[in-house]
Amino acid sequence: MIKIIQSDKLILILLISFLLLTNSYNGEYEINTSANSSFYYLNIANSYPEGLILESSSHSSQTYIHGERFLISYFVGFLSNLSNINSFYIFQAFTYFLISILIIINYKIINKVISQKNYSLLFFSLFLLNPYIIRYSLSNPIMINDLLFTLSISILFLSFLNKKNILFYIALFLAIISRQTSILIILALIFSLVLPYKNEFIDLKKIIFSFLLIATNYLISQQYLKISNITIFYDSQFIGLLDFIQKDFEILRFLKFLFLPFLSFGPLFATVIFLLLKRKIFLTINEKNVFFIILLILFVAQPFLTGPIVAGKNIIRLSTLGYAPIIFLLCLNLKNLGNLPKKISIILFGIMFFWSLHPTFSNIRIFDTLTKFLNY
């Protein structure tokens, strides 16, 4: 037993080492095109204690969106002002800390749900080696809002798993201050509550608290937007796909748009196909499954409905917000696992390692041709 545990920890250390050694790292003045939001977050932090400082001509719906998410960056600015430390390094420190917490929590969730070590390691590796989660955050440490939202969803799942109200409220708070996508959590809670099956964890009290928390955050963010003199709303974001179809439809561009999430989910799809062929996935109707399936549908629908013009390549990053919950749901609904065949294990891990080497977020350049093709 001790040997198994030691072996498990050694593999974990090797996986993390591979990730750290092959990752790319950007500095304060090296914001890449995949992280344009960093420009706003850094500006919010550096503008503390004032509002977001931008030329009025630079104001857009994107300015409004990021202004609503000001709390985390504003707190970074407060710490930077207090300690006289460059805000970029504070973003970096927070990012590394949150990555550590995220790894620990997801490792515990997967190992709690799956007792077979070979399968638990497989699913944890699917999470760890995804190019748009840990790699993305290491490469773009200012994008802390996305990382915090991903952490909040993992804590949310843990709260359902352990039936801990305090974890639920912590997860909800972190989700709401990090992204407007948090409204989808409330919608999923409402849908789950009204559906005709037994709820053991979701109740009206949680939904009311959710509304109060999101209303409070909204009122606070409106004050910040007022101070920053930002008034351009983002209603066009909601009908982006409709606008694209009516005005600028191009079949090739649309197909590329639909393909983009595959760059994040490829190894996970391969694993699901294997499990389905082996008849090891048995979906049951229960509270956790229903809630997180609804949440995942909403997560995927949101960037898809904004369309190729508004979402563009961001559909990869936005759809990846549901990546960890998919893994958790798979782990919950696996039966008759037995041992993972050695050949299958080699193939799946090979795909994961290969897929992990993202041309922007890793220092190994093997996907440059694919990048040029998708750079529309």
Residue 16 lies in a domain: no
Residue 185's alpha-carbon distances to 174, 188, 222, 322, in angstroms, are 12, 5, 21, 12
279 torsion bin: left (phi>0), alpha (psi -120 to 50), beta (else): left
Residue 307 lies in a domain: yes
Report the distance separating Cα 264 and Cα 321, nearest Å: 11
41 half-sphere exposure, CB direction, 13 A CA radius: 26
Report the distance separating Cα 217 and Cα 307, nearest Å: 27
**Predicted TM-score of the model (pTM):** 0.90
Nearest residue to 299 (alpha-carbon basis) of 269, 274, 324, 263: 324
Helices (H), 163-250: 165-178, 183-194, 204-227, 240-247
Residue 26 lies in a domain: no
Instruction: Tell whether the torsion through CA atoms of 265, 268, 274 and 275 is positive or negative.
Output: negative
Report the distance separating Cα 19 and Cα 135, nearest Å: 7
Angle at the Cα of 155 from the Cα atoms of 152 and 160, rounded to 5 degrees = 125
Residue 325 lies in a domain: yes
359 is written with which tokens? 């041309």
Residue 270 lies in a domain: yes
Residue 30 lies in a domain: no
15 is written with which tokens? 């996986």
pLDDT in tens, the chain (376 residues): 334 445 677 888 899 999 999 998 988 877 766 678 888 999 999 999 998 876 654 556 678 888 889 999 999 999 999 999 999 999 999 999 999 999 999 999 999 998 788 899 999 999 999 999 999 999 999 999 999 999 999 999 999 999 999 999 999 999 999 999 999 999 999 999 988 878 889 999 999 999 999 999 999 999 999 888 887 665 555 567 777 787 878 898 888 888 999 999 999 999 999 999 988 888 888 899 999 999 999 998 888 888 888 778 888 988 999 999 899 999 999 888 878 888 988 999 999 999 999 888 888 876 665 555 555 4
The boundaries of the domain holding residue 254 are 40-374
Residue 256 lies in a domain: yes
Strands (E), the chain: none
Report the distance separating Cα 155 and Cα 19, nearest Å: 23
Report the distance separating Cα 209 and Cα 12, nearest Å: 38
Length of the chain: 376
Report the distance separating Cα 371 and Cα 159, nearest Å: 38
Domain count, the chain: 1
Nearest residue to 108 (alpha-carbon basis) of 133, 129, 127, 130: 127
Residue 72 lies in a domain: yes
Q: What is 235-295 written as a DSSP string?
A: GGGGGHHHHHHHHS--HHHHHHHHHTTHHHHHHHHHHHHHHHHTT-B----SHHHHHHHHH
